[in-house]
Copies of this chain bind each other. A is one copy, B any other.
């Protein structure tokens, strides 16, 4: 166990040795193993956006096994996916890579107003598939946010009892927020705080902009001159919002597929701000495997301190 991983584990003083063991597995796996940094491959877009939109750009990606293989070859810390996808490869790749079961999912097919999710799998499923963690998406700001918080309560408690870690994807969204507000620094910071308060071990948020959304918060940001001008400052602030850096927070760039220079620029910002890493889905699997391995390699080099 490296000193850095030991230090990170020390922040989770209320967890059982079982949960710490699974957290350590995540932190010690892959190319970034032991550095305290993480790059995770998440593939729930087939469920959330539909299969063709997700996989037609790189047809081998229709096959769940492809993603297991990609995550392993790239040296990711973990692979996260919904039930069906993990069921497909969990035996073939048993023990090859830490798995995170996404236990709730949305789908863009229906025309509801405020976003919500369905519980689609269970802690028992995670255990029988050999996972190290369960993942849960919440939409702070949605009219349904309290239902989702309460579902986390049930699932997270059960997961912790079973020695699993808990990952929360915290995406502000809902009729009370503007589109721009969904990635506003104050809102993303709030979303990180909520995930931390709900007991997440790992928190996933979008890289925030310097927009300020909530009037009461805006006043404080301006009054106190909280530095949010650069990506690094914003990342640093988000870490503050998640228990002053004592929770693992990782970032994604969101829906848009940008050029790699821009992506790596963002990674450098996350790294400079002290962020714990990235979760990179579409940018990984919506290109050929060699290209994906190259890009993920460059990202990991930055986090590993081998590149600037």
Query: Residues of A with Cβ closer than 8 Å to B?
Result: 11-15, 46-47, 49-53, 55-57, 59-60, 62-66, 82-92, 105-112, 114, 116-122, 124-125, 128-129, 140-143, 145-147, 149-150, 152-153, 157, 172, 174-177, 186-187, 189-190, 192-194, 196-200, 214, 216-217, 220-221, 224, 226, 237, 240-241, 243-244, 246-247
CB distance from A96 to the nearest CB of B (A): 13
Residues A50 and B88 in contact in the complex (CB < 8 Å), given A109-B176, A198-B83: no
A176 to B182, CA, bound (A): 24
Residues A196 and B84 in contact in the complex (CB < 8 Å), given A13-B92, A146-B118: yes
- Beyond contacts A52-B190, A110-B175: 15 other A-B pairs, Cβ-Cβ < 8 A, are A47-B194, A49-B216, A51-B241, A52-B220, A52-B221, A52-B224, A56-B226, A62-B240, A108-B214, A109-B145, A109-B174, A109-B176, A110-B142, A118-B153, A120-B153
- Cross-chain contact B186 with A52 (CB below 8 angstroms): yes
- Cross-chain contact A85 with B53 (CB below 8 angstroms): no
Q: Nearest chain-B residue to A174 (Cβ)?
A: B110
CB-CB < 8 A to A57: which residues of B?
A: 220, 224
CB-CB < 8 A to A122: which residues of B?
A: 153, 157
Number of copies: 5
A276 to B147, CA, bound (A): 35
CB distance from A75 to the nearest CB of B (A): 24
